[in-house]
């Protein structure tokens, strides 16, 4: 096969160079397909497959069975970036058995389903590491064996790409561990045996002994007690053996400082791009054609080989299920509640009223991000912020010199201040390729079920990383007006809590409608590996500040408001001090820009801390159990989909992934309009997410009239529409009562 493959590659290179020369001469047919005449079975009315060898319009090469405009059957596909797939296809997606290879030399050989590595397969990395085992949707998930490049070895269970469950890890120096794992770390009950005869049996947490455990020496002496990385929490008893060479002066901290230094877990090789991310160029259309069925058509219940594979698949699918479900398991007379959440919203598929708008948006963003631009520093010129700094681009369906052909309607695309937003993305450490894949990749956007109070619609990318909001013309003017100050503010304060803006655009439909849709692309605060169990939108005002849903319909996706708030948030001192400083800076900025009506969006993830969930022995658990009530279903973390590296979630910053505590509060029944209840002493461990949103409402004439009108009917301090200075003061006073230092 290697010889045949080499011939194919050389033929492709020669033909590709010829095709590039032809493309330069014939720009009008830049996206047409070059094809060798089929050898047999020409496609007729019955649309049968036939053998084809094609140089596609973007330079990709395919040889194999072909049906209509897509590979179907056995074939070989070579992308221009050097990736190659050889194996079975179904409707343009790898399906069945095959081999995918990367330019780095890495390979995967095994089962595929709808373009995903899914089933039994072997991945060999460019550095020589190897994984043989079960895959589900590109992730190691099930039983598998991993040989690391440094000589280490793991045989056991995997979940979402990380060691999780029971497994054995063998270090190249002879040390080995047998026991429980969680999220790639030793966690739970297990045994570590060193090559020099030392041994630890007991409980672990995040890779270190935690709780009850016994440490033994080869001479028979041992130490029994409570273990912790904090020396002050150590307590135990040393039992010497009968020999004279005893360890009477031994310190348990030596296990953490010395013995475990030899037992670091070797990281898995990062996959640069997954096979499911690669798009097949359809005949006669743009290379990055939009296909909408990559995940939707991926049947997670059919094509299951065996009951064990089915349970693994269902477990992973559960994290993508839009409905909250409960699965009960009995043990010790107790019941576990587990959540299975999917991203909110309705997928915009063909036939949706906004399908064409989504295609226009994705085509425009791809054009904007991919357009060549000179390297720019963070020190931007004043001209970059000029409101007249706009770029219009026409997108005719047949394509043009600068734009690809597409299946949507004729439209024009506008970029507002493109240099500024390109630099903002760089400032926020957004990788252009990842940004483009998130918004313009193979997957459709999701539309949230109802528009916001302002009438704006919200869309989420498939991986939850970005939110797209349609905007009124007045909001666009506000953002452009405040853009110089906004840029200076976010550049000066890396921990700012204000919304991160990544792009400002407009789609204008040509023809009789001349409809304009303006929208802004923002970061999604709740894109997290953790399920968000409660969410609050807080302004510090009381008029109309309660959810309009009946209590029976409130769930984890409901955004609650000020009068629904029944917690205060307790931050660690170092975070609380930074929080106070940053809220002051952000409110000063918004006040100076005459902005009001903003709010603090807060999301809570209640940690699983019951004894059964943590696997801790009786009497040893790290926190309180989570509260139970309407909409509070806790359990499995919600993972951002696709190829996001799980290690990125380990980082914590102000407002993102912060460990904290919340204390439940109770409002007095005789005090109507009380915003903050009395603390009850009932506390829970949480992961906290928060930020300041809706920062594009200035105090214009409409808000002044609203303030005057409502002030005649209600207490002026209770309404949202107030002068920016007064709004800022009220907002700070409220927030500093809700967020307090944990003592």
Instruction: Quote the pLDDT of residue 479.
Output: 95
pLDDT at 245 over 60: no
CATH code given to domain 149-269: 2.20.110
Classified as helix, coil or strand, 212 is: strand
User: 237 or 101: whose pLDDT is higher?
Assistant: 101
pLDDT at 637 over 70: no
Cα distance between residue 413 and residue 410, in whole Å: 10
Residues of the chain with CATH 3.30.800.10: 360-524
User: 23 or 104: whose pLDDT is higher?
Assistant: 104
Q: What is the mean pLDDT of residues 361-375?
A: 82
Where residue 581 falls among pLDDT bands split at 50, 70, 90? very high
Cα distance between residue 446 and residue 346, in whole Å: 5
Q: What is the mean pLDDT of residues 289-296?
A: 33
Lowest mean pLDDT among 141-150, 179-188, 328-337, 470-479: 328-337
Alpha-carbon separation of residue 56 from 30, 71, 252 (angstroms): 10, 12, 65
Where residue 632 falls among pLDDT bands split at 50, 70, 90? very low
Question: pLDDT for 597-607, tens place per residue?
Answer: 899 999 999 98
Report the b/e string of 198-223 with b at 16+ CB within 10 A: eebbbbbbebebbbbbbbbbeeebbb
Q: 27-31, 223-227, 240-244, 587-591 — which one is most confidently predicted on average?
A: 587-591
Instruction: Quote the pLDDT of residue 609.
Output: 40
Classified as helix, coil or strand, 665 is: strand
Phi first, then psi, for residue 408 (nearest 5°) are: -90, -175
Phi/psi-derived region of residue 36, left when phi > 0, alpha when psi is between -120 and 50, beta in every other case? beta
Alpha-carbon separation of residue 320 from 313, 363, 464, 634 (angstroms): 11, 27, 12, 15
Where residue 590 falls among pLDDT bands split at 50, 70, 90? very high
How many CB atoms neighbour CB 254 within 10 A? Answer: 12
Cα distance between residue 35 and residue 28, in whole Å: 17
Instruction: Quote the pLDDT of residue 710.
Output: 56
Question: pLDDT for 424-478, tens place per residue?
Answer: 999 999 888 788 888 887 678 888 865 555 667 889 998 889 999 999 999 999 9
Q: Among 3.40.50.970, 3.40.50.10330, 3.30.810.10, 3.30.70.270, what is the CATH number of 530-608+652-742?
A: 3.30.810.10
Instruction: Quote the pLDDT of residue 104.
Output: 84
The residue among 137, 188, 139, 131 whose CA lies nearest residue 156 is 131
Q: What is the DSSP string of 603-628?
A: EEEE---SHHHHTPPTT--SSPPPP-
CATH code given to domain 50-126: 2.20.110.10
State what percent of residues in the chain have pLDDT above 70: 72
Q: Beta-strand (E) ranges in 408-476?
A: 411-416, 446-447, 458-460, 466-471
Instruction: Quote the pLDDT of residue 583.
Output: 96
Q: How far is CA 559 from the centre of its chain?
A: 20
Burial class (CB in 10 A: 0-12, 13-18, 19+), 261: exposed
Where residue 351 falls among pLDDT bands split at 50, 70, 90? confident
pLDDT at 519 over 80: yes
The residue among 207, 259, 212 whose CA lies nearest residue 235 is 212
Cα distance between residue 216 and residue 598, in whole Å: 59
Residues of the chain with CATH 2.20.110.10: 50-126
Cα distance between residue 598 and residue 603, in whole Å: 16
Instruction: Please provide the average confidence, as pLDDT, over all residues in the chain.
Output: 75
Instruction: Quote the pLDDT of residue 229.
Output: 79
Where residue 119 falls among pLDDT bands split at 50, 70, 90? very high
Cα distance between residue 288 and residue 285, in whole Å: 8
Looking at the DSSP bridge assignments, the partners of residue 743 are: none
**What is the sign of the dihedral through the CA atoms of 268, 312, 86 and 45?**
negative
User: 217 or 249: whose pLDDT is higher?
Assistant: 217
Cα distance between residue 736 and residue 720, in whole Å: 18
Q: What is the mean pLDDT of residues 556-580?
A: 90
Lowest mean pLDDT among 74-78, 91-95, 231-235, 538-542: 231-235
Range 46-55, long-range pairs (CB < 8 A, 24+ positions): 49/73, 54/283, 55/12, 55/15, 55/16, 55/19
Lowest mean pLDDT among 117-131, 165-179, 258-272, 358-372: 258-272
Q: Which residue is it, tokens 């603090």? A: 600
Instruction: Quote the pLDDT of residue 440.
Output: 84
Structure tokens at 374: 């000179």
Looking at the DSSP bridge assignments, the partners of residue 464 are: none
Structure tokens at 283: 């005949």
Phi first, then psi, for residue 654 (nearest 5°) are: -60, 120
Where residue 582 falls among pLDDT bands split at 50, 70, 90? very high
Structure tokens at 472: 């009124």
pLDDT at 532 over 80: yes
Instruction: Quote the pLDDT of residue 16.
Output: 42
Which DSSP state fits 736?
H
Question: pLDDT for 266-285, tens place per residue?
Answer: 888 778 788 888 878 764 43
User: 488 or 126: whose pLDDT is higher?
Assistant: 488
pLDDT at 311 over 70: no
Looking at the DSSP bridge assignments, the partners of residue 526 are: none
Q: What is the mean pLDDT of residues 630-638?
A: 36
Instruction: Quote the pLDDT of residue 719.
Output: 54
Q: 6-20, 233-247, 668-682 — which one is most confidently predicted on average?
A: 668-682
Instruction: Quote the pLDDT of residue 702.
Output: 57
Residues 479, 472 contacting (CB under 8 angstroms) = no
Cα distance between residue 5 and residue 665, in whole Å: 68
Q: What is the mean pLDDT of residues 720-741?
A: 88
Instruction: Quote the pLDDT of residue 415.
Output: 94
pLDDT at 616 over 70: no
Integer Rg of the chain from CA: 29
Alpha helices by DSSP H, listed for 186-336, are 253-257, 307-318
Residues 271, 249 contacting (CB under 8 angstroms) = no
- The structural architecture, per CATH, of the domain 360-524 is 2-Layer Sandwich (3.30)
User: Pairing mode, if any, of strands 559-560 and 130-136?
Assistant: unpaired
Where residue 666 falls among pLDDT bands split at 50, 70, 90? confident
Instruction: Quote the pLDDT of residue 636.
Output: 36
Phi first, then psi, for residue 426 (nearest 5°) are: -65, -40
Residues of the chain with CATH 3.30.810.10: 530-608+652-742
Cα distance between residue 115 and residue 96, in whole Å: 9
């Amino acid at each position: 096969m290697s010889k045949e493959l080499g011939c194919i590659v050389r033929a492709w290179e020669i033909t590709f160079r010829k095709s590039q020369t032809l493309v330069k001469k014939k720009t009008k047919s830049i996206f047409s397909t070059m094809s060798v005449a089929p050898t047999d079975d020409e496609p007729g009315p019955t649309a049968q497959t036939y053998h084809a060898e094609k140089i596609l319009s973007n330079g990709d090469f395919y040889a194999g069975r072909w049906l209509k405009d897509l590979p179907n059957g056995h074939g070989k596909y070579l992308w221009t970036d050097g990736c190659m797939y050889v194996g079975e296809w179904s409707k343009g997606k790898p399906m069945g058995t095959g081999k995918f290879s990367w330019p780095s030399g890495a390979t995967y050989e095994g089962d595929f389903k709808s373009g995903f590595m899914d089933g039994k397969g072997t991945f060999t990395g460019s550095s020589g590491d190897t994984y043989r085992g079960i895959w589900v949707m590109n992730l190691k998930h099930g039983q598998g064996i991993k040989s690391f490049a440094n000589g280490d070895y793991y045989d056991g269970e995997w979940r979402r790409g990380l060691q999780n469950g029971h497994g054995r890890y063998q270090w190249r120096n002879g040390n080995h561990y047998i026991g429980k794992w969680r999220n790639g770390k030793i966690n739970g009950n297990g045994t570590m045996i060193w090559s020099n005869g030392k041994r630890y049996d007991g409980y672990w947490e995040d890779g270190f002994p935690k709780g009850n455990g016994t440490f033994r020496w080869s001479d028979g002496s041992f130490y029994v007690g409570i273990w912790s990385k904090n020396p002050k929490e150590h307590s135990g008893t040393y039992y010497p053996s009968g020999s004279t060479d005893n360890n009477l002066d031994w310190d348990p901290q030596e296990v953490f400082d010395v013995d475990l230094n030899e037992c670091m877990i070797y990281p898995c090789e990062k996959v640069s791009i997954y096979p499911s991310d690669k798009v097949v160029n359809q005949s006669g259309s743009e290379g990055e054609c939009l296909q909408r069925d990559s995940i939707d058509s991926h049947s997670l219940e059919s094509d299951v080989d065996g009951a064990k594979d089915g349970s693994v698949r269902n477990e992973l699918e559960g994290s993508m299920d839009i409905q909250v479900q409960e699965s009960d398991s009995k043990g010790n007379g107790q019941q576990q509640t587990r959540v299975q959440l999917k991203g909110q919203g309705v997928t915009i598929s063909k036939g949706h009223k906004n399908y064409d708008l989504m295609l226009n948006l994705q085509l425009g963003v791809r054009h904007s991000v991919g357009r060549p631009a000179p390297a720019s520093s963070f020190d931007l010129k004043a001209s970059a912020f000029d409101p007249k700094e706009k770029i219009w681009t026409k997108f005719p369906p047949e394509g043009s010199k600068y734009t690809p052909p597409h299946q949507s309607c004729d439209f024009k695309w506008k970029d507002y201040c493109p240099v500024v937003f390109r630099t903002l993305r760089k400032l926020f450490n957004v990788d252009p390729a990842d940004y483009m894949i998130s918004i313009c990749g193979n997957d459709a956007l999701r539309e949230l079920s109802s528009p916001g109070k302002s009438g704006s619609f919200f869309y989420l990318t498939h991986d939850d990383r970005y939110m797209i909001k349609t905007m009124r013309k007045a909001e666009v003017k506000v953002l452009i007006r405040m853009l110089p100050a906004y840029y200076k503010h976010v550049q000066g304060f890396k921990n700012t809590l204000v919304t991160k803006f990544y792009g400002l655009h407009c789609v204008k439909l040509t023809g009789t409608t001349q409809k304009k849709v303006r929208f802004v692309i923002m970061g999604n605060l709740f894109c997290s590996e953790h399920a968000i169990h409660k969410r609050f939108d807080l302004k510090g005002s009381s008029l109309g500040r309660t959810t309009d849903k009946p209590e029976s319909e409130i769930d984890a996706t409901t955004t609650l408001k000020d009068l629904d708030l029944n917690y205060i948030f307790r931050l660690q001192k170092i975070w609380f001090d930074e929080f106070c400083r940053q809220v002051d800076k952000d409110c000063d900025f918004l006040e100076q820009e005459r902005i009001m009506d903003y709010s603090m969006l807060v999301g809570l993830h209640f940690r699983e801390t019951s004894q059964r969930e943590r696997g801790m022995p009786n009497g040893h658990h790290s926190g309180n159990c989570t509260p139970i009530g309407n909409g509070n279903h806790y359990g499995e973390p919600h993972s951002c989909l696709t190829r996001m590296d799980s290690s990125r979630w380990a980082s914590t910053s102000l407002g993102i992934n912060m460990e904290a505590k919340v204390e439940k509060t109770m409002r007095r029944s005789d005090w109507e309009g009380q915003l903050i209840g009395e603390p009850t002493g009932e506390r829970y461990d949480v992961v906290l997410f928060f930020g300041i949103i809706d920062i594009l409402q200035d105090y214009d004439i409409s808000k002044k009239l609203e303030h005057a009108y409502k002030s005649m009917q209600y207490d002026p301090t209770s309404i949202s529409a107030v002068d920016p200075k007064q709004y800022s003061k009220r907002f700070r006073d409220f927030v500093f009562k809700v967020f307090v230092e944990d003592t």
